[in-house]
Amino acid sequence: MMTEIYMDRGQCQKFEVPYVDKGTELYIAADTVLRSRDPGGYDKYHNEFLSAKGGKTLVLEGLGYGWFQVKSVI
């Protein structure tokens, strides 16, 4: 299972989370993250992981520079 996902600066601004800072917690549906990128914007692994989770909520913790650790899926 993928344990980290990436969001670019635009996504972080849209979801009102810092791009650079660590420790920020974000609760967001996987399909919302997937739809927030242009088609083809995510690689195969991100697409498969996010698509499989659908509308489930991801609990994410910021690792810095757009990377978020998936703490849990609820």
DSSP 42: S
Global pTM value: 0.90
- CB distance 22 to 62 below 8 Å: yes
User: Largest Cα–Cα distance of the chain, in whole Å?
Assistant: 29
**Burial (CB count <10 Å: 0-12, 13-18, 19+), residue 30:** buried
Name the phi and psi angles at 26, rounded to 5: -135, 130
Residue 62: give the domain boundaries: 4-73
Residues 25-72 have pLDDT tens digits of: 999 999 999 999 987 789 999 999 999 999 999 999 999 999 999 999
Count up the domains in the chain and report the number: 1
Give the pLDDT band (50/70/90) at residue 2: low
